[in-house]
Amino acid sequence: MECKVCGEDTAERIKRQSSVKERFGSRECYVTLISKCSVCKSEIDDTPDEDIMDAINRSKKTAVIEMITHLKKTRDTEKLIDIELALGLRPFGVIETWLKFPEKVSHGEYALLEMLQIAPEAINILDCMET
């Protein structure tokens, strides 16, 4: 294989196991593809972005489920609508939708879940605020 740095036909493809982990998510593996040249000693990561993003998204899905499960435990409730009322989330049932389809959680919704994971007392503060 041709080296992308020196142009010599001395590069070889190496596969390595790699992993990623979203905060509160599971560690997910993917294969890193490295082009390594025996002449110039360069190593170039040729891993398709899609492979890395797939692993990140798998970790994110487990993180969403874990964060919502933890949130329910800290609030000592099985009723997600209580949490939605306190947070002012509309339409009602949105957290249940996140549980059923964690891959559809937006970046902003994910950030909210992370914030509530780190500081669950924020729900109580918001719940007591007058509108």
Domain extents in the chain: 11-128
pTM score, two decimals? 0.81
What pLDDT was estimated at residue 121? 85
Q: Please state, in angstroms and as integers, the Cα–Cα distance from residue 33 to each residue in 16, 36, 47, following that order.
A: 7, 10, 5
Distance, in Å, from the CA atom of 11 to the CA atom of 71, rounded to the nearest integer, reads: 50
pLDDT (tens place) for every residue of the chain, 131 residues total: 999 999 999 999 999 999 999 999 999 999 999 999 999 999 999 999 999 999 999 999 999 999 999 988 887 666 788 888 888 888 888 999 999 999 999 999 999 999 999 998 888 888 787 65
Q: Which of 66, 65, 84, 78 is nearest to 123 (CA)?
A: 84
Distance, in Å, from the CA atom of 31 to the CA atom of 6, rounded to the nearest integer, reads: 25
What pLDDT was estimated at residue 78? 65
